[in-house]
Structure 1
């Protein structure tokens, strides 16, 4: 993302020298640096705990210990690349239902608060059905993305075919982003309709916001 942004900036300034947006590059740099610091620090703590405190890696560390994660693909043996592809595919398949269960849990909270309102109750039913439906469809699309199935993680298999898996990943991002926005707007709509002063109303909105986060 940083490289793409930088390339677009170079092209824009080359064609329009007077048009510059240094703040955009600065903001992008800050976000990338903070993300790297947080993720790297978390990974370092995990490795420290596993190697020096627990002195043991387990199944959840398989991708780092045996699967080649963290190495350039040109440095990996073909057998390791197959393991890496399995890890990536498994993570993607697990990721979708995990998000779905988190959203359904939030809908259950909303239901306990709003089930006396018929309109909201059926709205929550519809949302739960939609979230469950697209999550199941996307999970199955990833599991059965290739024919034969082994082609999904074994690049040496030349026969058969696969669907457009990047499109499935994109659909996952879009559907989850849209449902996130809807789940955030529901409490905003409800809270703003309450008959209370502004400060308590903002407090309730913040509580709902933490749940959505």
Structure 2
């Protein structure tokens, strides 16, 4: 990862390239900012629509309403860290960012990795709780979904702790003056993270299919529901591709430009 040999690693320009600190090349900076702005706008729009629908149809606050609000908070917070990283140079070549800005970027990169877990958990918990309510007539299925949510929480808590204290002292991730550093194998941490994401995405995608087929409704409605649920397959495909990009990023020679793709896929 970025501190494999200290925060100053992965900053050497290619042979013959002279860094331009005053006018760095816009590799993917604009794309990053535009995509994040659109994502924030869409997430906020859907969140407002959900609140409006909730107030109009059933004002009673349910558990999934709380998890949805918490998920929205962490998603916006995660995007805020990306905007901050862009402010410090994410999207430019690492060798065209001055050291003070580069160290600040690494600090916010660490913050984004810490925020990712709760954002992912509460988003999936919301989807699963809605699923449990839709299939509440199947008591065993609904109970199994709730058990899975608790299992998911149990899986995410140690992962969150590990990602938070991946290096001791934590400041060694962005401060090259820190000595006596002890780090966990960050490659394994990354792949544990993405493996959990793929597994849970697959479960969220596949579980509703047989349950929907058993519902007493016209075939046309069943197909419509399955088509909507199949959209979750896109999320799974994105997660798999993100895993591939993470594997490349771990050996990146241009961290600040290469990480943008992972930001967008997240």
State whether structure 2 residue 103 is matched by structure 1 residue 82.
Answer: yes
Residue 40 (structure 1) aligns with: 31
Question: How much has 1:41 moved relative to structure 2?
Answer: 8.3
Q: How does 1:92-111 map to 2 (within 5 A)?
A: 92-111=113-132
Q: How does 1:87-166 map to 2 (within 5 A)?
A: 87-166=108-187
State whether structure 2 residue 55 is matched by structure 1 residue 64.
Answer: no
User: For each residue in 1:156-211, what CA deviation from the matched residue of structure 2 results, as whole angstroms up to 9, or x when unmatched?
Assistant: 32312111122211111110111010011111010122344432210121233457
Which structure carries more relative contact order (alpha carbon 8 Å, separation 6+)? 2
CA distance in 2, matches of 1:178, 1:46: 29
What 5-or-longer segments of structure 2 have no aligned partner? 1-26, 39-79, 236-266
CA distance in 1, matches of 2:142, 2:204: 14
If each structure's helix is expressed as a fraction of its own residues, which one has the higher value?
1
User: For each residue in 1:135-160, what CA deviation from the matched residue of structure 2 results, as whole angstroms up to 9, or x when unmatched?
Assistant: 22222111111111212332332312
SS at match of 1:68: coil
Rg larger in structure: 1
CA separation of 1:201/1:116 partners in 2, compared to 1, >3 Å: closer, same or farther? closer
User: For each residue in 1:38-92, what CA deviation from the matched residue of structure 2 results, as whole angstroms up to 9, or x when unmatched?
Assistant: x838628959xxxxxxxxxxx6532122x22122222233322221111111111
CA separation of 1:181/1:77 partners in 2, compared to 1, >3 Å: closer, same or farther? same
> What is the root-mean-square deviation of aligned Cα atoms in Å?
2.9
Do the aligned partners of 2:129 and 2:146 also contact (CA within 8 Å) in 1?
no
User: For each residue in 1:82-122, what CA deviation from the matched residue of structure 2 results, as whole angstroms up to 9, or x when unmatched?
Assistant: 21111111111111211111100011111212233232122
CA distance in 1, matches of 2:203, 2:35: 36
Do the aligned partners of 1:68 and 1:80 also contact (CA within 8 Å) in 2?
yes
Do the aligned partners of 1:145 and 1:152 also contact (CA within 8 Å) in 2?
no
Q: How does 1:128-207 map to 2 (within 5 A)?
A: 128-207=149-228
Residue 246 (structure 2) aligns with: none
